[in-house]
Amino acid sequence: MRSLSSAKVFAPATVANVGSAFDVLGFALDSPGDTVEAVRSASPGVRIVDVRGDHGVLSHDPARNTAGVSVQALLAHLSATQPQLSTPGIDLVIEKGLPIGSGLGSSSASTVAAVVAANELLGSPLSRADLLPFAMEGERVACGSAHADNVAPSLLGGFVLIRSYTPLDVVSLPAPRSVWVSVVTPHLELRTQDARKVLKRTVSLESAISQWGNVAALVAGIYRNDVALMGRALEDRIIEPERAQLIPGFAEVKAAALEAGANGCSISGSGPSLFALSASRDAAKAIGAAMQAAFSGLSLVSTVHTSQVNPEGAKVIGRA
């Protein structure tokens, strides 16, 4: 088979945590997302040759860029474990479709698109699931914590549950087709690193009981395609109350979503985006508009996306 000279991959935005399931659950959206092209190069190593759509914010140093770090880790692993591959140099062109620090898994989407593109370029020596630890390395660079609840759904699609981090044990769940999502992103940046610093290190037994009941119900709702149960199960007594204070208008926007008929509403990832669940496209659009109006009422400009749960995750969109 002829070797590829380039591969281009789209990786979707994700909603991590999904209310009650902090750090252990996430799902992929259809759009927006980031695109990365990996191009074979005669010079060894990884280079970030271009980053578009980031307003000049992201580093072009591969050791400080989430996509660069992940592809470097992937190449080092392949050189050590599959020396017959004779890994080439790789140039990366990153096209940001996601705002940075938005709660939509922006760094994860670039990282996932980059590792999937590099793997495709090399003839797919690793499976999708095997790419996860390399994508998680990018997350460590982005915010100091190698959580997988954004990278795993962006990579694999659907809902993904992280049962354990050590050892890594990731469970793919279905993408319930009756669920629609409204995601509203105020034009503010909230760094995940900062949104993690506000969290208390201990929880009460009472809160823990409520939380594991809700996480279990959320998973049951996913399997039953039951948006009402999923909506109830977003209830988060541990993380949301701490982070709500970092998001201007949180209470008003959540109230607007519920008033407009949402089955549930919470923070997307570490915020400042909020997401709401409902049972139809029309409902999702009306709920998104109500949430946006609530932000506007507080003089905050925002962007709305409506989507179903994306069942396939990152997608190869070009090969040459």
Summarize as ranges the residues that interact with ligand HSE (CB under 6 A).
Answer: 16-17, 22-23, 147, 149-150, 192, 195-196, 269-270
Report the residue number, 115 or 195, with the smaller CB distance to ligand HSE: 195
Report the residue number, 31 or 145, with the smaller CB distance to ligand HSE: 145
* Least distance between ligand HSE and beta carbon 271 (Å): 8
Tell me how far apart the alpha carbons of residues 154 and 97 are, in angstroms, rounded to a whole number: 14
Report the residue number, 74 or 195, with the smaller CB distance to ligand HSE: 195
User: What is each CA distance from 114 to 110, 121, 157, 223, in whole angstroms?
Assistant: 6, 10, 16, 31
* Least distance between ligand HSE and beta carbon 208 (Å): 17
Task: Tell me if 128 sits within 8 A of 83, measured CB to CB.
Answer: no
Tell me how far apart the alpha carbons of residues 141 and 248 are, in angstroms, rounded to a whole number: 27
Extract the tokens encoding 176: 């319930």
* Least distance between ligand HSE and beta carbon 270 (Å): 4
Tell me how far apart the alpha carbons of residues 168 and 137 are, in angstroms, rounded to a whole number: 13
* DSSP line for 135-177: HHHHHHHHHS----TTHHHHHH-SEEEEEETTTTEEEEE---T
Report the residue number, 10 or 22, with the smaller CB distance to ligand HSE: 22
* Least distance between ligand HSE and beta carbon 39 (Å): 28
* Least distance between ligand HSE and beta carbon 14 (Å): 9
CA angle 200, 202, 205 (to 5 degrees): 130
DSSP annotation of 220 reads H
* Least distance between ligand HSE and beta carbon 307 (Å): 18
Could you tell me which residues are beta bridge partners of residue 318? 8
With left for phi above 0 and alpha for psi between -120 and 50, is residue 81 left, alpha or beta?
alpha
* Least distance between ligand HSE and beta carbon 236 (Å): 11
* Least distance between ligand HSE and beta carbon 26 (Å): 8
Report the residue number, 87 or 108, with the smaller CB distance to ligand HSE: 108
Report the residue number, 16 or 75, with the smaller CB distance to ligand HSE: 16
The SS3 call for residue 131 is helix
Tell me how far apart the alpha carbons of residues 68 and 141 are, in angstroms, rounded to a whole number: 10
Report the residue number, 22 or 27, with the smaller CB distance to ligand HSE: 22
Task: Tell me if 194 sits within 8 A of 271, measured CB to CB.
Answer: no
Report the residue number, 120 or 149, with the smaller CB distance to ligand HSE: 149
Task: Tell me if 294 sits within 8 A of 207, measured CB to CB.
Answer: no
